Amino acid sequence: MNFTDAVLSRHTVKAYAGGQTLPQEQIDMLLSWLHNSPSSVNSQPWHFVVASTSEGRETVAKAATGTFAYNHPKIVDASHVIALCMRADLDEAHLRAILAQEESDGRFKADGAREGQDKSRRSYVDLHRYALRDVPQWMEKQVYLALGGLLLGAAMLGIDATPMEGFDAVALDAALNLRERGLTSVVLVSLGRRSEKDFNAGLPKSRLPKEAVFTHI
């Protein structure tokens, strides 16, 4: 499938065929793409929890009860569910870990490149921490960049997907012990094979006209 076909054919799946497991090579490819997602100043303020077993999906589904019960089947009937999480803060340990990894991966070829990269990244962190005071929102934006790539990657592989904000983040954080690790959940993505009950598959895409969306200057 080419990129245009993937963009135009993908849709948010509303029902999955339970008991169908995606090939591991496809999952490995998706996780590799997710691992290499872009982020502002390579801040990588995320962590991804992958539920690939029925027990794992049931744990995630603890956050889809009550008001969010409509999403429970989309979690337990999927092949895999990924919880895209963000850090509570871009602390010193994380900034040092990123810099050390960049150095290990050979990104600093020129004299002063390491120090320049560290200074530049910290300037952005300080901007959002002190001047804009929006570090959580800034980190969340990076997680949504990763989400977009994941959804398009799944479409390229012919994998059905459902992004979900409809879950109890407090309950999910507790079920996955995220806060003890300095993390909080942002969005869920179910992956699998849609069932015949997926009514959204037969509906046409609907977008505002290009004239309302694009301005050419």
CATH number of residue 21's parent domain: 3.40.109.10
- Tell me the per-residue pLDDT of 51-88, one tens digit each, with 9 for 90 and over: 999 999 999 999 999 999 999 999 999 999 999 999 99
Judge whether 14 counts as a catalytic residue.
Answer: yes
For position 28, what pLDDT does the model report?
98
For position 77, what pLDDT does the model report?
98
Residue 135 contacts residue 89 (beta carbons within 8 Å): yes
Does residue 115 belong to any structural domain of this protein? Answer: no
The DSSP string of the chain is --HHHHHHH--B-S-B-TT----HHHHHHHHHHHHT---GGG---EEEEEE-SHHHHHHHHTTS-GGGGGGHHHHHTSSEEEEEEEES---HHHHHHHHHHHHHTT---STTHHHHHHHHHHHHHHIIIIIS--HHHHHHHHHHHHHHHHHHHHHHTT-EEEEE--S-HHHHHHHTT-GGGTEEEEEEEEEE-B-TT-GGGGSPP----HHHH----
Does residue 128 belong to any structural domain of this protein? Answer: no
For position 138, what pLDDT does the model report?
98
Q: Distance between alpha carbon 70 and the CA centroid of its chain, in Å?
A: 21
Closest CA to 15 of 70, 74, 63, 69: 74
Does residue 22 belong to any structural domain of this protein? Answer: yes
- What is the rounded average pLDDT of the residues 14-26? 97
CA angle (156, 160, 165) in 5-degree steps? 110
- What is the rounded average pLDDT of the residues 108-121? 98
Closest CA to 185 of 174, 196, 194, 195: 174
For position 119, what pLDDT does the model report?
98
Per residue, the 3-state secondary structure of 54-104, as one string, reads: HHHHHHHHCCCCHHHHHHHHHHHCCCEEEEEEEECCCCHHHHHHHHHHHHH
For position 65, what pLDDT does the model report?
97
Spot the catalytic one: 58, 74, 180, 210.
74
Judge whether residue 1 has pLDDT over 90. no
pTM: 0.97
The band of 8, judged by pLDDT with boundaries at 50, 70 and 90, is very high
Does residue 146 belong to any structural domain of this protein? Answer: yes
Judge whether 115 counts as a catalytic residue.
Answer: no
- What is the rounded average pLDDT of the residues 154-173? 98
For position 137, what pLDDT does the model report?
98
Q: Which two tokens stand for residue 173?
A: 């954080």
Averaged pLDDT score across all residues of the chain: 98
For position 209, what pLDDT does the model report?
98
Does residue 102 belong to any structural domain of this protein? Answer: no
- What is the rounded average pLDDT of the residues 7-21? 96
- What is the rounded average pLDDT of the residues 34-53? 98
Which neighbouring-strand residues pair with 46? 86
Does residue 130 belong to any structural domain of this protein? Answer: no
Does residue 114 belong to any structural domain of this protein? Answer: no
**Percent of the chain with pLDDT strictly greater than 70:** 100
CA angle (51, 55, 58) in 5-degree steps? 80
Does residue 103 belong to any structural domain of this protein? Answer: no
Judge whether residue 202 has pLDDT over 90. yes
Total count of domains within the chain: 1
Domain of 173 in residue numbering reads as 3-90+136-212
Spot the catalytic one: 58, 109, 141, 165.
165
Spot the catalytic one: 14, 25, 205, 211.
14
